[in-house]
């Protein structure tokens, strides 16, 4: 009986790892999004990061070895990485050919998305971790973002911007903060998911968050 249960656990773990490499290949080879493996959890506990920083605030949700500049769409490299590190989180290098993102804490994000739906705002994929949701947007420059934010009377400090030189953990990664999934999944079979302009998303999110009763903590 123990042998059967152990075999079943190995098969289940294998399925999860196959799902990771399959997703990484989809991002890299079909959607042309540069990816690389993130840091796996510390052997002494998933809530701790495997990187040298004992106080890492995003355990398992960031690149370390290799560094972010190694992100690629090359199929052979992606296969090699996840064959050798089958449980590694999938990290997207945002900007350039890949989408950027605007993220905010999960609870106000849920309120904001509901408000955006009522406004008729079209959104693309939304990545969800237990603590934050990230709305994928078209690539933008730092100059473009700076002009956009400068024009605002108020921008909640809880908003984070994942632009050129940034990164984001993608589904179905497991990080120290929990599972990464799709709150709004890409349409199946799409060559590359449609994403909105950053201006439209920031305008709508700021308006939604600054309405009475819909606020975001400064996290």
pLDDT in tens, 138-169: 999 989 999 999 988 888 888 999 999 999 99
pLDDT at 116: 86
What's the pLDDT score for residue 6?
Answer: 38
Give residue 194's pLDDT.
Answer: 93
Q: What is the pLDDT of residue 41?
A: 65
> What is the predicted pLDDT for the residue at 1?
35
88 contacts 147 by C-beta, under 8 angstroms = no
The pLDDT, as a whole number, for residue 196 is 93
Q: Is the pTM for the entire model greater than 0.75? A: yes
Give per-residue pLDDT as tens, 92-115: 999 988 999 999 999 889 988 988
The count of other CB atoms within 10 Å of the CB of residue 64 is 19
Q: Quick check: 40 and 85 in contact, CB under 8 A?
A: yes
pLDDT at 128: 96
Q: State the Cα–Cα distance between residues 209 and 161, nearest whole angstrom.
A: 16
Looking at residue 26, its pLDDT comes to: 95
pLDDT, residue 27, reads 96
Residues of the chain with pLDDT under 50: 1-14, 212-213, 216-219
According to the model, what pLDDT value does residue 74 have?
97
């Amino acid at each position: 009986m123990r042998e059967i249960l152990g075999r079943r656990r190995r098969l289940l773990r294998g399925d999860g790892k196959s799902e990771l490499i399959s997703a990484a290949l989809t991002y890299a080879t079909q959607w042309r999004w540069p990816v690389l493996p993130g840091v796996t959890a510390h052997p002494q506990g998933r809530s701790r990061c495997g990187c040298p920083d004992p106080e890492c605030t995003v355990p398992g949700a960031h690149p370390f070895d290799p560094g972010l500049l190694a992100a690629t769409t090359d199929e052979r490299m992606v296969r090699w990485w996840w064959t050798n590190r089958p449980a590694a989180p999938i990290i997207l290098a945002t900007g350039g050919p890949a989408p950027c993102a605007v993220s905010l804490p999960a609870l106000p994000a849920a309120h904001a998305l509901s408000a955006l739906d009522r406004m008729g705002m079209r959104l693309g994929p939304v990545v969800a971790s237990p603590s934050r949701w990230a709305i994928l947007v078209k690539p933008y420059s730092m100059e473009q973002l700076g002009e956009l934010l400068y024009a605002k009377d108020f921008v909640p400090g809880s908003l984070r911007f994942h632009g050129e030189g940034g990164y984001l953990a993608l589904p179905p990664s497991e990080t120290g903060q929990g599972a990464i999934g799709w709150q709004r999944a890409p349409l199946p079979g799409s060559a590359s998911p449609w994403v909105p302009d950053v201006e439209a998303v920031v305008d709508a999110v700021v308006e939604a968050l600054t309405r009475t009763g819909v606020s975001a903590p400064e996290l």
